[in-house]
Amino acid sequence: MNRVFNFSAGPSMLPLPVLEKAAAELITYGDSGMSVMEMSHRSPDYEAIIADAEKMLRELMNIPENYKVLFLQGGASTQFAAVPLNLIGRTGKADYVVSGQFSGKAFKEAQKMGYDVVCTATSKEDNFDHIPALTRDMFRPDASYVHICYNNTIYGTKYADIPDTGDIPLVADMSSCILSEPVDVSRFGVIYAGAQKNMAPAGLTIVIVREDLLDYADPKMPTMLEWKTMAENGSMYNTPPCYTIYVAKLVCEWLLSIGGLSEMKKYNEKKAAVLYNYLDSQNYYIAPVKKDSRSMMNVTFVTGDAELDKKFAKEAAAAGLKNLKGHRSVGGMRASIYNAMPSEGVDKLVAFMKEFAAANPKA
């Protein structure tokens, strides 16, 4: 088996035990006589799969009973529109923190709809190298919600603490950090995440929403974007992304088998420390993110020379370290070390970084 270390930001690596189990069950699932990909979403076999997926996700994240778990399509980007459409009816206003590209896109999407939305804080002037400092009094007391992106995939930043928004519901895009560590779901009104970074293949979006927030939708909103409709229909108002939900179930099984999110956090912290400790110990590579805002999932670095960066990504790929090229909007390198990235992959990356620096001295 010739598998590389895949540092892609998404779609990204899946745990090998998950892939092996999916492969073993690909043609025939249990005694159903068919693949999950062929199965009716209304069949007893599939109803059991989606029920187990929700049960395991609730157990892993300790999701309170007064929250609905939705398995949706359209990616997190569709939720940029769904969030204001579902919540703006509370007061007609919303506050956004822009800490990177995706939170910026979410803000612009809400603006397009003509709602009263404001950018409360941003780190754009500093090229998003940190999470803006936030205090409770920065948010409008009558805002329908406050929106943040909890982990910024492109720039490699993450909130060190959950912002205090008082009684205002906090909405968080957790696409690139969900299931990487425990999080207090009760501190949020809504959590949403595209699954293709840390949970499953592309095609599934998870929305975790507090039940009392399901009654504020804009009456003009499309039915397919209305959380209440999806909640009332068990995420099956239409055909859901069946196979992707099945793989998400397998990922949840795997996480439970290794001890849950507290153990996953320890492993992720250890991996990230290996890479950050090396970056902090030398002066060939530059880590642009401020230390108090560093992501555990996405580590960005540059050499300071665009041509060297290109050479690094090319030679790393040839060495079995794939997809280290940074996002097209920022350049440099980015190592996405999600749950499924083994520690051996990070060790090999650091060894390659040392070899590359020795072989390519800077002027």
Determine the pLDDT at residue 1. 60
User: Minimal CA–CA distance to 333: which of 296, 358, 303, 355?
Assistant: 303
- Residue 357 CB contacts under 8 Å (≥ 6 apart), including other chains: 282, 284, 285
Tokens of residue 31, six digits? 């005694």
CA–CA separation, 159 and 198 (whole Å)? 18
Confidence of residue 220 (pLDDT cuts 50, 70, 90): confident
Determine the pLDDT at residue 329. 74
Report pLDDT digits (tens) over 255-279. Answer: 999 999 999 999 999 999 999 999 9
What's the chain's average pLDDT?
97
User: Minimal CA–CA distance to 151: which of 188, 186, 177, 131?
Assistant: 177
**Mind listing the domains of the chain with CATH numbers?**
16-257 (3.40.640.10), 260-359 (3.90.1150.10)
CA–CA separation, 17 and 20 (whole Å)? 5
Task: Please work out, in degrees rounded to the nearest 5, the angle formed at the alpha carbon of residue 254 by the alpha carbons of 248 and 255.
Answer: 90
Q: Which helix (H) or strand (E) holds 322?
A: strand 321-322
Report pLDDT digits (tens) over 18-61. Answer: 999 999 999 999 999 999 999 999 999 999 999 999 999 999 99
Query: Helix, strand or coil for residue 74?
Result: coil
Determine the pLDDT at residue 78. 97
CA–CA separation, 185 and 207 (whole Å)? 12
User: Minimal CA–CA distance to 14: which of 181, 272, 200?
Assistant: 200
Report pLDDT digits (tens) over 178-214. Answer: 999 999 999 999 999 999 999 999 999 999 999 999 9
Residue 211 has φ and ψ, to the nearest 5°, of -60, -35
DSSP-derived letter for residue 163 is: -
Total Cβ atoms within 10 A of residue 104: 17
Q: Classify each residue of 133-144 as buried b or exposed e, where b means 16 or more C-beta atoms within 10 Å of its C-beta.
A: ebeeebbbeebb
Residue 163 has φ and ψ, to the nearest 5°, of -60, 145
Side chain identity at residue 221, one-letter code = M
Q: Residue 196's Cα: distance from chain center in Å?
A: 8
Residue 221 has pLDDT above 80, yes or no: yes
